[in-house]
């Protein structure tokens, strides 16, 4: 996404991330770069090996701070920010600015300038949220029917093995599917996303690693094959549909084993007592959909060192504070996104911690 901007101003750009070899990344660094986009783990490795020096960095941008907190990367982030020179501008983007993320705000930002970005009517579509009572054995056939009606689709599972198993079962049911999770190599994930974006795969079957970092317009349905554990996870997963003004459907499959947990989740979301029997005939008619377009650059949608407790934004928005799918009927909308900013502890320039719409 930054490549056209960098090319326009003559800036040299490089990316470093795990899951691939070091050779090409080190070659790019040896040539010198003006903008480095990095995952914390790989950047720390390169620092240790002497391939990177951060003392002269003037701008430090921390994106997806809440996700890094959820996946245990904040200690690495703090070590990296401590290596950045004192005369720097810091910008922090996050869906939430509380808890562990707030530690970063207090330590690295002074006099924060907060920015909140609300979605527009044109950027948010209507999303129908349904909770279907079912059995474990019926889940695959229901999911296959939903994908056939609303593809392209994203299907969420709790575990990596579960995602692989659901992929195989969907394929047997006549649905083309590809898995995306922490046990897949980066090239495998890139190929799966490219196939999905190109229309040759009807469904991505993912763990929460795909709830954030993959920004795809045109997803017709999100299926929670395994219900999420928290309201925030539900919002982030469900945000894969209803993007760029398109309508969408979100279906959570509720088996007897998880009914109690789902009831608690529904109360958090403001959807109490809405679990009903499956009724495919009552679903909205899916409009003709254009070819899926993905804004995910190569090297994104990674699960840092195999962590699978991902978080993500709801309906393409990042929200400061608690995000909610809303209430009223079966349709829901997230709250506007927010942002925060501050003055760097050792710099006269203002630093900003911000929350913005994903994919914008």
**153-198 tens-digit pLDDT:** 999 999 999 999 999 999 999 999 999 988 888 788 889 989 998 8
Strand partners for 294: 216
The number of beta carbons lying within 10 Å of the beta carbon of residue 346 is: 11
Alpha-carbon gap, residue 193 to 14, rounded angstroms = 21
Query: Does residue 178 have a cis peptide bond before it, meaning omega lies within 30 degrees of 0?
Result: no
What is the pTM for the complete model shown? 0.63
Give me the CATH code for the 122-306 domain, please.
3.40.50.300
- The half-sphere exposure of 136 on its side-chain side, counting CA atoms within 13 A, is 5
With vertex at residue 66, the alpha carbon angle to CA 105 and CA 11, rounded to the nearest 5 degrees, is 80
- Give start-end residues of each CATH 3.40.50.300 domain in the chain: 3-118+337-354, 122-306
- Burial annotation 134-158 (CB, 10 A radius, 16+ → b, else e): beeeebbebbbebbbbbbbbbbbbb
Mean pLDDT of 345-353: 41
More confident position, 251 or 67? 251
**276-335 tens-digit pLDDT:** 999 988 888 775 555 444 444 434 444 433 343 333 333 333 322 223 333 333 333 333
- Burial annotation 306-318 (CB, 10 A radius, 16+ → b, else e): ebbebbbbbbbbb
Are the CB atoms for 333 and 315 separated by under 8 Å? Answer: yes
**12-40 tens-digit pLDDT:** 999 999 878 999 999 999 999 999 999 99
Q: Return the CATH class of domain 3-118+337-354.
A: alpha beta
Confidence of residue 245 (pLDDT cuts 50, 70, 90): confident
């Amino acid at each position: 996404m930054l490549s056209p901007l960098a090319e326009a101003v003559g800036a040299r750009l490089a990316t470093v991330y795990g899951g691939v070899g070091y050779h090409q990344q080190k070659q790019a660094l040896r040539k010198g770069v003006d903008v480095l986009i990095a995952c914390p783990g790989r950047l720390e490795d390169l620092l240790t090996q002497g391939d990177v020096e951060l003392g002269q960095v003037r701008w430090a941008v921390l994106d997806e701070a809440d996700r890094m907190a959820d996946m245990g990367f904040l200690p690495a982030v703090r070590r990296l920010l401590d290596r950045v020179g004192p005369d720097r501008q810091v910008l922090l983007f996050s869906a939430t600015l509380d808890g562990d993320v707030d530690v970063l705000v207090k330590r690295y930002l002074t006099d924060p300038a907060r920015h909140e970005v609300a979605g527009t009517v044109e950027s948010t579509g209507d999303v129908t949220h349904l909770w279907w009572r079912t059995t474990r054995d019926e889940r695959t056939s229901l999911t296959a029917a939903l994908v056939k009606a609303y593809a392209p689709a994203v299907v969420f599972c709790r575990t990596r093995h579960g995602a692989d198993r659901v992929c195989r079962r969907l394929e047997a049911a006549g649905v083309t599917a590809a898995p995306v999770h922490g046990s897949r190599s980066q090239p495998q994930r890139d190929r799966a996303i490219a196939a999905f974006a190109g229309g040759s795969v009807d469904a991505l079957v993912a763990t929460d690693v795909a709830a954030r970092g993959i920004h795809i317009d045109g997803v017709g349905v999100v299926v929670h094959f395994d219900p999420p554990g928290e309201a925030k996870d539900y919002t982030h997963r469900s945000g894969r549909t209803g993007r760029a003004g398109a309508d969408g459907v979100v279906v959570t499959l509720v088996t007897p084993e998880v009914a109690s947990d789902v009831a608690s989740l529904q109360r958090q979301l403001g959807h109490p007592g809405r679990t009903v029997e499956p009724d495919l005939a009552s679903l909205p008619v899916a409009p003709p959909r254009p070819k899926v377009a993905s804004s995910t650059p190569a090297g994104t949608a990674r699960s840092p060192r195999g962590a699978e407790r991902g978080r993500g934004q709801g309906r393409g928005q990042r929200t400061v504070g608690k995000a909610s799918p809303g209430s009223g009927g079966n349709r829901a909308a997230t709250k506007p996104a927010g942002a925060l900013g501050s003055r760097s502890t050792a710099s006269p320039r203002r630093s900003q911690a911000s929350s913005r719409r994903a994919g914008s």
